[in-house]
């Protein structure tokens, strides 16, 4: 048996290529939408993809299962569990799709995969026990856990309520997750665990950075499993406490993955925009300008009017997906030309297929030098914020997570997590200058750019939160305001 873990560091997502060298067949588990990577990985091993399987309806990226089924005519395996509302609609009547229930098996060559219904993260979630029959094994080698069990954590059960807006289901989901845990804890210690995500994913709150683990190790060291040993109520309380606010785009991914993502084909190849074109594009209200430059002070000093600040790092997908709610709007990138494909792949993985073009930093400087329109945002440090915070002309805006806010915040600060800004912006006043801060300046830079583009009078606080305590000003503790979103049809 061959197994390759294929990692997307931006979404901290693992897909798996599993192949049978004896027959030359392979399956990919939980692929992202730009599927050429998996096809090339299989070919490099002398294998042909004959199947694709999903653990659940994903929220953090668009699935590549439909893309592979149409491009290669492969067999598709998805869950039939969870009830009518949790079926993959595009696969329901698909001639090459098999809907799996608990205990069902399928083979790829001499490799057997057995579905294990493990609800909690989502109602339909299944994991896969993998047995190498071709190697003479009668017992499984490992478990593909998807978003059920991670290294050091378990899949969060609150996303359906906090991201998709389905009210009143997070406690029920947490109890379902608790009831699923014996399916994991009853396995033998030696079994390998191949999770769907690693550290940095929004699908859990304390995921480890090690790519794989074993049942025995998690039984001994997984903190979430420790809570389960204290009983159902202790587990439910612990697993729902202090979960980070999920990006708004998660609800859209759920809808599209269930209905069926649009077929992608080749990834978009945006052109380098000439400066003559740029003048018209900057005046088009439908264009979304995404400035990917990492130095936030360079962005604040001068940027194209209305541009979002979305550094091309691990937060890129989260920022764009959260702050641009209409994925059909065309995007203009400000980016180093060598990194265009990197950004494009990140965008299509969350449904942004219309990339109008790009301009690089040299063009940007030429644009400004020639008198092209630009915008700036003032920036201050925490010490200056401490001088202004109680002046009625200003309002402190805290864009950190709810857990950070509860631990300590500026008295009177308005709490709006940066991934929730489009839905919670109406909390913010128009008659005051907004002093926007976070923990280090990174999230507040993103939020300041968004709010300025929306017409707010904004000052960016580029500093560490610890400077507030050092200023001698009071610190308030307590609950943040409600940050869950309104119900989203799903």
Q: What pTM did the predictor assign? A: 0.93
Q: Which secondary structure element, helix H or strand E, spans residue 333, and what is its range? A: strand 331-334
Q: What is the CATH number of domain 2-259?
A: 3.60.15.10
Is residue 316 helix, strand or coil? helix
CB distance 262 to 67 below 8 Å? no
Closest to 432 in 3D by CA, of 481, 390, 375, 479: 390
Find the angle CA(400)-CA(403)-CA(407) to the nearest 5 degrees. 95
DSSP string, 412-470: TPEE--GGGHHHHGGGS-SSSEEEEE-SSSHHHHHHHHHHHHTT--EEEE-S-THHHHH
**Rounded distance between C-alpha atoms, residue 461 and residue 439, angstroms:** 10
Q: What is the CATH number of domain 275-369?
A: 3.40.250.10
Amino acid 245: pLDDT: 86
Q: Max CA-CA distance within the chain?
A: 75
Amino acid 490: pLDDT: 33
**Exposed, middle or buried by CB within 10 Å (0-12, 13-18, 19+), for 184?**
buried
Which residues, including other chains, have CB under 8 Å from residue 276's CB and lie 6 or more apart?
none
Residue spans of the domains in the chain: they are 2-259, 275-369, 378-470
Can you read off the two tokens belonging to residue 281?
A: 């594009």
51-87 b/e (C-beta count within 10 Å ≥ 16 → b): bbbbbbbbbbbbbbbbbbbbbbebbbbbbbbbeeebb
**Length reported for the chain:** 490
Chain centroid to CA 377? 28
Same fold, 2-259 and 275-369: no
Q: Which secondary structure element, helix H or strand E, spans residue 66, and what is its range? A: helix 65-72
pLDDT tens, N- to C-terminus, the chain (490 residues): 999 999 999 899 999 999 999 999 999 999 999 999 999 999 999 999 999 999 999 999 999 999 999 999 999 999 999 999 999 999 999 999 999 999 999 999 999 999 999 999 999 999 999 999 998 999 999 999 999 999 999 999 988 778 767 778 899 999 999 999 999 999 999 999 999 999 888 877 788 889 999 999 999 999 999 999 999 999 999 999 988 888 889 999 999 999 999 999 999 999 999 999 999 999 999 999 999 999 999 999 999 999 999 999 999 999 999 999 999 999 999 999 999 999 999 999 999 999 999 999 999 999 999 999 999 999 999 999 999 999 999 999 999 999 999 999 999 999 999 999 999 999 999 999 999 999 999 999 999 999 999 999 999 999 999 999 889 999 999 876 555 444 333 3
Can you read off the two tokens belonging to residue 7?
A: 């990692």
Closest to 140 in 3D by CA, of 99, 175, 101, 187: 187
Amino acid 132: pLDDT: 97
**Exposed, middle or buried by CB within 10 Å (0-12, 13-18, 19+), for 464?**
middle
- Hey, CA dihedral for 46, 72, 143, 317, is it positive or negative? positive
Q: Which residues pair with 105 in a beta bridge?
A: 114
Amino acid 61: pLDDT: 96
Domain 378-470, what fold?
Answer: Oxidized Rhodanese; domain 1 (3.40.250)
Helices 361-369 and 275-282, packing angle to 10 deg: 80
What Å distances lie between residue 58 and 33, 63, 159, 252, 373, CA to CA? 12, 7, 11, 10, 41
């Amino acid at each position: 048996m061959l197994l390759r873990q294929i990692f997307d560091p931006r979404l901290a997502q693992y897909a798996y290529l599993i192949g049978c060298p004896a027959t030359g067949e392979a399956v990919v588990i939980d692929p992202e939408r730009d599927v050429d990577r998996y096809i090339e990985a299989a070919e490099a091993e002398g294998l042909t993809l004959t199947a694709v399987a999903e653990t659940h309806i994903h929220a953090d990226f668009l699935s590549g299962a439909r893309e592979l089924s149409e491009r290669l005519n492969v067999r598709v395996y998805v869950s039939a569990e969870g009830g009518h509302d949790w079926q993959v609609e595009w696969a329901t009547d698909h001639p090459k799709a098999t809907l799996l229930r608990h205990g069902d098996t399928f083979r790829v060559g001499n490799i057997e995969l057995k579905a294990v219904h493990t609800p909690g993260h989502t109602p339909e979630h299944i994991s896969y026990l993998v047995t190498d029959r071709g190697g003479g094994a009668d017992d499984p080698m490992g478990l593909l856990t998807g978003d059920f069990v991670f290294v050091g954590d378990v899949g969060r059960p609150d996303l359906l309520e906090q991201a998709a807006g389905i009210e009143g289901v997070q406690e029920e989901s947490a109890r379902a997750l608790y009831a699923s845990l014996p399916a994991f804890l009853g396995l033998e210690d030696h079994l390998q665990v191949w999770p769907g995500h690693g550290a940095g994913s929004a699908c859990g709150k304390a995921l480890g950075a090690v790519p794989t683990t074993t049942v025995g190790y998690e039984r001994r060291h997984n903190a979430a499993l420790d809570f389960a040993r204290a009983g159902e109520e202790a587990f439910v309380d612990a697993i729902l406490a202090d979960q980070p606010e999920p990006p708004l785009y998660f609800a859209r991914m759920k809808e599209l993955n269930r209905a069926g993502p649009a077929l992608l084909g080749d990834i978009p190849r945006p052109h380098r925009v000439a400066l003559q074109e740029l003048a018209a594009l900057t005046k088009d209200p439908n264009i979304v300008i995404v400035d990917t430059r990492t130095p936030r002070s360079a962005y604040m000093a001068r940027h194209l009017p209305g541009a979002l600040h979305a550094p091309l790092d691990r937060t890129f997908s989260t920022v764009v997906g959260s702050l641009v709610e209409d994925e059909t709007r065309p995007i203009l990138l400000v980016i180093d030309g060598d990194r265009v494909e990197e950004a494009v792949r990140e965008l299509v993985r969350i449904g942004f297929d219309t990339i109008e073009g790009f301009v690089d930093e040299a063009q940007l400087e030429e644009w400004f030098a020639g008198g092209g329109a630009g915008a700036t945002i003032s920036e201050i440090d925490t010490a200056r914020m401490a001088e202004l915070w109680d002046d009625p002309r200003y309002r402190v805006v805290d864009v950190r997570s709810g857990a950070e806010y509860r631990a300590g915040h500026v008295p009177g600060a308005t709490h709006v997590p940066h991934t929730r800004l489009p839905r919670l912006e109406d909390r913010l006043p128009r008659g005051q200058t907004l002093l926007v801060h976070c923990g280090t300046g990174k999230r507040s830079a993103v939020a300041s750019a968004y709010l300025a583009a929306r017409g707010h009078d904004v000052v960016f606080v580029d500093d560490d939160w610890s400077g507030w305590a050092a200023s001698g000003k009071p610190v308030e503790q307590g609950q943040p305001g409600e940050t869950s979103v309104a119900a989203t049809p799903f």
